[in-house]
Amino acid sequence: MHPKELTPKAKRTRAAILTATREIIGESSVSAVNIASICTQANVGRTSFYTYFADSDAVIGEVAQIAGQEVTARFEVLHCNEPRGLKRLKACIRTILLIPVEDRQSALLLASLAQHTPDLSRLLCHEIAEELNGARETQDHSLTETECQIRAQFLSVALLAVVRDLARGALPSNQVEDYIGPLMAAATAR
């Protein structure tokens, strides 16, 4: 059943399942998600769960898709009037690093989903690669397209590790600005 065809009560139940899944991932990890834990957290029965989702992978996939849309929306706000390049990359890095400061659970959700959901990792890597390629085109750096892609992969992994550690309290959250410089240097150093 498509979400637009649901009754108001059904929409609330489906939303409760998605919210419960998001909370479980944010509090623990993707590996802690199972149908029993979702149903308990959402306060719904198994039958209700199966009305909306085929299995736990389906609900995790939808939560990942929503998280990806949220990250994309954050980037779109930054990108309104700024051409692709290092300035925009720096703003993207800052935006991602501020997620654990603003919302610890969302940061843990993002980091956990990125480890288990290739689409979310690819989204972040793609955004970084686009910014590096934009900087290359404006001659902000002299990296080749292949080097931009390799740096984007490295930077996306490093960025998510910092986000995870900020959210867990392993790194001080009042020093977010201090983490941007080394990440930018890793992106562009020759």
Q: Supply the mean pLDDT for the chain.
A: 89
- Contact predicate 116/104, CB 8 Å: no
- Are residue 89 and residue 137 in the same domain, yes or no? yes
Q: Are residues 121 and 85 in the same domain?
A: yes
Q: Which domain holds residue 75?
A: 64-188
User: pTM to 2 decimals?
Assistant: 0.82
Tell me the C-alpha to C-alpha distance, in Å, between residue 154 and each of 20, 69, 147.
Answer: 32, 22, 11
* 169 and 76 part of one domain: yes
Q: How many domains does the chain have?
A: 2
Number of Cα atoms under 13 Å in the Cβ half of residue 168: 12
pLDDT tens digits, one per residue of 11-65: 999 999 999 999 999 988 899 999 999 999 999 999 999 999 999 999 999 999 9
Judge whether 186 and 161 are in contact, CB under 8 Å.
Answer: no
* Same domain, yes or no: 54 and 68: no
Tokens coding 86: 């290092």
Residues 123-156: pLDDT tens digits?
Answer: 889 989 988 888 887 777 778 889 889 999 999 9
* Side chain identity, residue 27: E
Place of tokens 């934009």: 134
